[in-house]
Structure 1
Amino acid sequence: MDLASILVYLDSSRRSHQHIAASVVLASAFDAHVHALHADPATPHDGPSSDAEVVRRAFLGVIEDAPVEGSWHATHGDPAQRLVHESRAVDLLVLGQHTFLGKEGDNLAALGSCILAAGRPVLVIPAHGWIRERPGRAVLVAWNGSRESTRALRDSLPLLRRAGSVQLVHFREHSARNRYADHQPAHHETHPTTHYETHTEAHTEAHRPAGHERGFADPAPGPADNGTRVTQGTSVQYALAWLARHGVTARALTCALGAGQDAGDAILSHASDTGADLIVSGAYGHGPWREAVFGGVTRTLLRAMTVPVLFSH
């Protein structure tokens, strides 16, 4: 699997230039087609607005100088619903963290609902900072063994194949350390807020605090070939073996959260500490369009991301 088509949403803000740059640099790496969608506030009878024309010229100007093909489409309807509709015919959707800021309704709800409904991986570009190189040179995969996490790993494979380094990081509750103290390795790295270890441990559903997403604080249970439960440690090994078969060399790390530490914040902190320029995460949520309820990690990443995040649901 590779990326053959990318859909990028462009609003009228200055950040659209970053979204153009990110989508074009990715398309150049994969020889993919870039399709830009813009929500024009003008009515169809008025013709394109001045803002729409500025964005269109900026996009086509970059495309003209890049070794990729591109196309442009302006819509006058609900941009989120249009994005979901058009995303079904592409391999990757590129959005800005504040894509729907100022639109009717809550930006986070619209962005998250679009991610959940798209049926395609969604690369969200942070609202601050500048992207000068292709995202995905150093990738942090927030692994938890769940369906969403597994889907995210599969959807990010084209990027992982081109990455210089890939790490699968699993976070578990700090309280679990004492419970499994007899099984701890003799040596492990330490961090001011997060303890890093070289293997993983099981943590049952009964000990998962309410509201936590499975796997960022405990393993995803499941049947093994011999009828026993699959621990997080074995699911990580399965993931590493699967990646290796696809030509991706990765390392796994288990991190015990500090007391009261948010797993989403821990992911962002670890990405900063290790120099990751892309986070891959499952998107956790449920509910009807524009009324979805998101898991804590997903919400934190959407609100506080500092590097691009590839979400998959």
Structure 2
Amino acid sequence: MIRDILVNLAQGVEKDVACDFAASLAATFGAHLTGLSVAYEIDVPPFYMGALPTDFIDAQVLENQAASEKASARFSASAAAAGISHEVRTLSASLGVAANSFAEMARLFDVTVVCQPDPDRPGPEEVISETVLMESGRAVLIVPYVQTKPFTAERAVVAWDGSRPAARALAEALPLLHRTKTVEVFRVTRGEDDDEAGAEVVRHLARHGLTAAVRKLPVGSGESVASAILNEVADQGADLVVMGGYGHSRLREMIIGGVTREILSTMTVPVLMAH
């Protein structure tokens, strides 16, 4: 069961979609919700320090502190409205230190909720989400920045490729899958394929009291796996995707693209990932 949830609190927004989604998730499971609010420090290289006026730095520090306090207050109001047990933790740190600290915190939570990076509003979300996914060792639930609905998981698509990250994601997603009405094991295949792989996933889920169907979609070498997954999500009207994150090294994924990065940039429903 999910009893302990962590969420990263957004700043500079009127509505924190990850915060509200995490509150609804906690209410569904009767879980405790912890929000982390960061007052980001200005990370200025030493050779630039002399070029920045002291009053500018002081003003920026005060602005970031105020933004953190506003995020904390918004979180407390959202959690109180949901009627859940909650607490706020605060941290003053640079983005890199904050991301690593958040990942370390996440190791002692059942699931961590973060927001998808918004390409029209650059912020810390991309660094936070990638770091917690790679370094926490736990499941990460990424919420689209356009999310409006509270948590629901009536129809889930499990993107299965047989990899270690996919196996971790499936195991961590079991409490969520028990809330669904329909589970589909979706397999994107290229070339020769093991027809029994999907059936083995269905067998495993059946032992957990879950009924699932398998759908296999062959794609050509030039076709996008991420697009195939997202198209299936749209076709099925799914409201949750479960998949492994970063099957290759993060550096390689950053250089050549990769399914994880493409999903993170184009996802339209919440995605539970694990590495």
The TM-score with structure 2 as length reference comes to 0.83
1:250 and 2:271 correspond: no
Aligned mate of 1:163, from 180, 186, 205: 180
Give the 3-state SS of the residue equivalent to 1:302 in structure 2. Answer: helix
Give the 3-state SS of the residue equivalent to 2:11 in structure 1. Answer: coil
Tell me, in whole angstroms, the C-alpha distance in 1 between the residues paired with 2:171 and 2:227: 24
Deviations 1:205-228 (A, max 9, x none): xxxxxxxxxxxxxx5xxxxxxxxx
1:20 and 2:38 correspond: no
Shift in CA distance, 311/80, structure 1 to aligned 2, threshold 3 Å: same
Deviations 1:7-32 (A, max 9, x none): 00012132752111110111111110
Give the aligned partner of residue 112 of structure 1. Answer: 130
User: Cα offset for 1:259?
Assistant: 6.2
Tell me, in whole angstroms, the C-alpha distance in 1 between the residues paired with 2:159 and 2:196: 16
Deviations 1:58-88 (A, max 9, x none): 1111222223100001111222111111001
Give the 3-state SS of the residue equivalent to 1:60 in structure 2. Answer: helix
Give the 3-state SS of the residue equivalent to 1:140 in structure 2. Answer: strand
Query: Which amino acid is the alignment partner of residue 72 of structure 1?
Result: V
1:153 and 2:170 correspond: yes
Q: Which has the higher helix share?
A: 2
Q: How does 1:208-219 map to 2 (within 5 A)?
A: 219=193
Q: Which runs of 5+ in 1 are unaligned?
A: 177-202, 204-218, 220-230
Give the 3-state SS of the residue equivalent to 1:144 in structure 2. Answer: coil
Deviations 1:251-303 (A, max 9, x none): 1110112562200011011101110111111012455xxx6432711121111
Tell me, in whole angstroms, the C-alpha distance in 1 between the residues paired with 2:269 and 2:14: 14
Whether contact under 8 Å (1:279, 1:309) holds in the other structure is yes
Give the aligned partner of residue 68 of structure 2. Answer: 52
Give the 3-state SS of the residue equivalent to 1:75 in structure 2. Answer: strand
Q: How does 1:59-74 map to 2 (within 5 A)?
A: 59-74=75-90
Tell me, in whole angstroms, the C-alpha distance in 1 between the residues paired with 2:262 and 2:17: 22
Q: How does 1:1-313 map to 2 (within 5 A)?
A: 2-14=1-13, 17-41=16-40, 49-77=65-93, 78-98=97-117, 101-103=122-124, 108=126, 111-127=129-145, 129-173=146-190, 176=191, 203=192, 219=193, 231=194, 233-258=195-220, 260-285=222-247, 287=249, 292-294=251-253, 296-313=258-275
User: Cα offset for 1:304?
Assistant: 1.1
Query: Which amino acid is the alignment partner of residue 310 of structure 1?
Result: L
Whether contact under 8 Å (2:165, 2:247) holds in the other structure is no
Tell me, in whole angstroms, the C-alpha distance in 1 between the residues paired with 2:12 and 2:236: 31
The TM-score with structure 1 as length reference comes to 0.73
- Bigger drift between 143-152 and 24-33 goes to 143-152
Shift in CA distance, 87/259, structure 1 to aligned 2, threshold 3 Å: closer
State the number of aligned residues.
250
Deviations 1:155-186 (A, max 9, x none): 1000001111110000113xx3xxxxxxxxxx
Shift in CA distance, 126/15, structure 1 to aligned 2, threshold 3 Å: farther
Whether contact under 8 Å (2:242, 2:273) holds in the other structure is yes
Query: Which amino acid is the alignment partner of residue 69 of structure 1?
Result: S
Whether contact under 8 Å (2:100, 2:131) holds in the other structure is no
Q: Which runs of 5+ in 2 are unaligned?
A: 43-60
RMSD: 2.5
Percent identity (aligned): 30
Shift in CA distance, 259/42, structure 1 to aligned 2, threshold 3 Å: closer
Deviations 1:113-148 (A, max 9, x none): 331111110011112x23323142211110112221
